[in-house]
Amino acid sequence: MRAEELKGHLDALLLAALEGGPRHGYAVIEALRQTSGGRLDMATGTIYPALRRLEDAGLVTGSWSVVAGRRRRDYRLTPAGARALAAKRADWRDFTATISAALEGTPCPDLA
């Protein structure tokens, strides 16, 4: 999947990658690579500003650590981030169920 196809979903993907615990920027990218089987094709450099944007929004917090003499920034999901992730998951399920039903010509399942 190309970067433009992922627009609008990047925040949810990053929040999901941080759900299991704190990760630094590259570990987030690795997690997305592993969970997608390498099919998410994103410019790695743009993940970092996206993480900063989520931090500004209060959905993740960042903190510095030192690893092998190099400073590294770790990100952790906040309670607001966890709530945002749950909401984005629900929206996504609703969206995919609706579009799938429309594409396959079947009645849309009741998601309520």
Catalog residues that contact other proteins under the rule CB under 8 A: 24-26, 29-30, 43-46, 48-50, 52-53, 56, 70-73
Identify which of residues 16 and 29 has a Cβ nearer to other proteins in the complex. 29
Q: How far is the CB of 31 from other proteins (least distance, A)?
A: 13
CB atoms within 10 A of CB 59: 23
- d(CA 83, CA 10) in angstroms, rounded, equals 16
> DSSP character for 42?
-
CB 40 within 8 Å of CB 25: no
Residue whose CB is less far from other proteins, 9 or 73: 73
CB of 81 to other proteins, least distance (A): 16
Which residue, 42 or 85, has its beta carbon nearer to other proteins? 42
Nearest to 58 by CA among 81, 76, 83, 24: 81
How far apart are CB 52 and other proteins at their closest, in Å? 6
- What torsion, rounded to 10 degrees, do the Cα atoms 89, 93, 96, 100 define? 170
Give me the least distance between CB of 73 and other proteins, in Å please.
5
